[in-house]
Amino acid sequence: MSRRDLIRMTDDEVTAFLAEPHSMNIATTNHDGTVHLVAMWYAPLPGGAIGFETFAKSQKVLNLRRDPRMTALVEDGATYDQLRGVELVGTAEVIDDDHELLMDIARSVIGRHQPDVGPADVDAVAEMMVQKRAAVRFTPTRVVSWDHRKLGGTY
C-alpha cells in the first residue's frame, strides 16, 4: 500500500471533516488568467455540494459568472503529524434569486462559526448577513484528501 493510500480519508471521513467549522480557501480565475484566492466560511449542502454566501458584486462572483471552475482547500493541523485536508475541484453556480438557500447557508455559518449568537437571534443575524448577497453552490467533481494522523506519528 502506498503512503498516499495510507493517509487518504474515506468518503465518510471527508464528510465529517467538512462538517467541522473550518474556513475554505477558494480559488477562481481572474479575467487575465491569474488566480483569485480568498478564505470563506461555508455550509455543507445536500448531495455533497458546498454553499457559501458572498457579496453579489464580489470578484469571486464576477470570476465564477465568467468561468464556473473552482478549486477549494479546507485544511487543519499545526504540525506535520496532525495535518488534515481536503481539496475539492469542480464547478460553482452563482444563485441570485434563492433567498431560502441564502438563509440556510447563513444559518449554518452562524451555527458553526458564531457560537455567541443565541438560537432566538439566528434568523435576524442571518437576514442581516444576506443583504446584497448571492449564494454560491459548489459541486465538487474531484476530491483529494489527506490525514497524517493515520500515520501514527511516523513520517
Whole-number Å distance between alpha carbons of 130 and 68: 22
pLDDT band per the 50, 70, 90 thresholds, residue 145? very high
Q: Give the C-alpha separation, 139 to 50, whole Å.
A: 7
74-87: per-residue pLDDT in tens?
Answer: 999 999 999 999 99
Go through the domains of the chain in sequence order and give each one's CATH number. Answer: 3-149 (2.30.110.10)
Q: CA 90, CA 108: separation in Å to the nearest integer?
A: 22
DSSP per-residue letters across 50-89? EEEEEETTSHHHHHHHH--EEEEEEEE-SSGGG-EEEEEE
Write down the pLDDT at residue 155: 66
Q: What is the mean pLDDT of residues 20-39?
A: 97
Summarize pLDDT for 78-127 with one digit per residue, the tens: 999 999 999 999 999 999 999 999 999 999 999 999 989 999 999 999 99
In the prediction, which pLDDT does 5 show?
83
